Structure formats: structure tokens, C-alpha cells
Amino acid sequence: MKSLVLEKKDELSLRDFPAIDRVEERLGARDVRIRLHTVGICGSDVHYYTHGRIGPFVVNEPMILGHEASGTVIETGAEVTTLKVGDRVCMEPGIPDPNSKATRLGMYNIDPAVRFWATPPVHGILRPTCVHPEAFTFKLPDNVSFAEAAMVEPLAVGVHAATKARVKPGDIGVVLGAGPIGLVTALAALAAGCARVYVGDLAPKKLEIAESLSSAIIGVNVARENLVERVKRDTDGWGADVVFEATGSPRAAAGVFEPLAPGGCVVMIGGQPDPISYDAGAAMVREARVENIFRYAHVFPRCVAMLNSGAIDVKPLITRTFDFDDSVRAFEIAASASPADVKMQIVLPQ
């Protein structure tokens, strides 16, 4: 069973991984077996590759990468009722403890016991097949492709962020960062009701892609233009109703309240490897509401529905596709942080 294995920091291999058969491939009564089709390369996958850890999650032994996926059901457990063999699906990669307090309160994404693909010691899904609970597997409409379906996972982050922001029709939004998460957040903010969204970044190509997504998205090259001044000028000095921090940069986080209007909301999305500081006084005088998100909850069906209706189009974000046999090279390119790339995906043999 050939898989893309992170052997250790800076070392990837495409090889058989027999242990996965014994440990994670047993089909339960409410599980489905899925043949993987398309898997996206996430920034966290690349970070594990280049750094060997993210915060407390350390790669201490070989681990299969990948958690943004779509595929086809090839077997169902005895008690599965909503899916059948042949169904095209996407999968939510975090499996919580159904009996935990967080899960019972509806906050399953912050269950301390959640098992999340490609987060040590849990293996990811850059492999031919996986077994997954029916409850976290979602059937795809006919007009949603495998490539689009593999974008549901990052899109879910943006939709969760817009939901936590409580976006209202006509709001002005700012997204700091034009990477994959920043751009899906901009799309989600528009779908939630924002009249206009400013996206700030240093990469001209990413900003070009951002502006191609909607006439309501305004790209701002922060190397050439002051984002805060632009937003204030365009809003008669008032500022943006909601600011999404999607860079993971301490410098960006430090100034996150500057473009915010009084009474506005800041949503912290970007992962911070170390503690950061921001201006609590700037937040106080605005009576700013600050939201933090960790992955997502209860939004996968919404994402699939928006792709189905055309309310959100993620196809322009998919900038490069690789065959499974080229997975190692794909990660090497992803690690180089090409300014022209947004989302890279890997297609597995069928």
C-alpha cells in the first residue's frame, strides 16, 4: 500500500506502509472505506515536512501526510444508511470523541481527544484508501468535481471564520494574507454578506488571483500601499467592520486592529508558532470583539451546498496538480513557497 511518508524532518518517501493496514483500516459498522482521488497540500503538511513539528505536535516516527481529500466509497459498514458504494465524497478529517464534553456541547473541533489526519501520531490520507466514519463523510453533488471537493476542507476554515465573525449584509471586510486560507475566507465573507473585501499581501500574483475571484475583492499590495490608509480612505475614516488575520505573521497580528472600525470584530485564523502580542488598548477603544478559530465545526455541508449552487467558486485557487508518483516533488515545490501558487493538489491512481 504505497503512501507518501514523512520519514523525518526534510525527508519524504513514496513507499509501502503495511502498518496502516493493521491499525487504521478496520471497517466498523458505521464506517465507510474510501478510495482516495484528490488530496490537497496544506500549509500544515508542508510545515511538518520542513520543521518536523507544529507546536506540541511532533513527528517522532514516520507519518503519512495529507488531510484535504475527496474520493469514492468502495465499501460500507453494516449500519451505514446515508452512503453507498460508488458515492463520490469529501471527508472532514477530524474525528472527535463522541462522549467528550466538547462534543456534547457542539464544539467537537476543540475536543482535546480529536484525532485529526496528518497530525502526529495520526496518519494522513496520501494513500490509496482510508476508513472513515459515515458521520464525517459527505456525498458530493454531480456538478462538484473531486478537485473542488478536496477544497472543502480549507474552505471550511473560511466559512467557520465568517460564521464566528457574524458578518452582516453590507459589511466591509479585510483579509490579511492571500494564501489559500485568506482567499477562501474572502470568498466566505462575501457569501456571508460583505459588500466589499480588501485582501492584503506581498505577492502580486496572489493578489491578481484574489481580484479575479470577484469584483467585490480589492487586492492591496502592502509593499507598495498602506492597507490601513486605503481602507480608511474608502470608508470615510470609519474602517472595516471585520478583519480576518490569515497570515500567521506576528507583525500582521500586532497591527490587526488598525484598519478596524469601532465596534468591529477581529478573527484570528493564522496559526502562530509562538506567543504573539497585539495592542489591547487599540482593541479597547474600539470595543472590538476578538474571535479565535480552531479548524471548523458544522460547516462541511454548507461548503458543499455553496459549491453546488455556485455561490462560491474555488476552481481559480487550484493552481497546480500533480500525479501521485510526483508527490515528493510536489512537496519540494510547495516548500519553496512559489508566489504564483495558491493551492496544489495531488491526484491518486484510480
Q: Is 23 a residue whose pLDDT tops 60? A: no
| DSSP class of 122 | B
Cell numbers found for residue 36 = 482516495
* Nearest residue to 34 (alpha-carbon basis) of 147, 104, 136: 136
Q: Which range (47-51, 54-58, 167-171, 281-285) has the least confidence?
A: 54-58
Q: Is 341 a residue whose pLDDT tops 70? A: yes
What is the model's pLDDT at position 296? 97
In angstroms, the CA 315 to CA 94 distance is: 24
Mean pLDDT, all residues of the chain: 95
181-235 pLDDT, tens per residue?
A: 999 999 999 999 999 999 999 999 999 999 999 999 999 999 999 999 999 999 9
What is the model's pLDDT at position 24? 66
Q: What is the pTM of this model?
A: 0.95
Q: Across residues 18-45, what is the average pLDDT?
A: 87
Q: Across residues 41-67, what is the average pLDDT?
A: 93
| DSSP class of 236 | T
133-192 pLDDT, tens per residue?
A: 999 999 999 999 999 999 999 999 999 999 999 999 999 999 999 999 999 999 999 999
What is the model's pLDDT at position 109? 96
Q: Is 113 a residue whose pLDDT tops 60? A: yes
Residues 6 or more apart whose CB falls under 8 angstroms from that of 246 comprise: 175, 176, 177, 179, 181, 182, 185, 269, 270
What is the model's pLDDT at position 1? 74
Cell numbers found for residue 161 = 471564520
Return phi, psi of residue 55, to 5°.
55, -125
Cβ atoms within 10 A of the Cβ of 45, count?
24
266-325 pLDDT, tens per residue?
A: 999 987 667 788 889 999 999 999 999 999 999 999 999 999 999 999 999 999 999 999
- What is the distance between the terminal CA atoms of the chain, rounded to a whole angstrom? 14
Alpha helices in the chain (DSSP H): 19-24, 43-51, 101-104, 146-149, 152-165, 180-192, 204-213, 227-234, 250-254, 280-286, 300-309, 327-335
Confidence band of 22 (pLDDT split at 50, 70, 90): low
In angstroms, the CA 320 to CA 209 distance is: 14
> Which residue did the predictor score with more confidence, 61 or 20?
61
Cis-peptide, bond into residue 121, ω within 30° of zero: yes
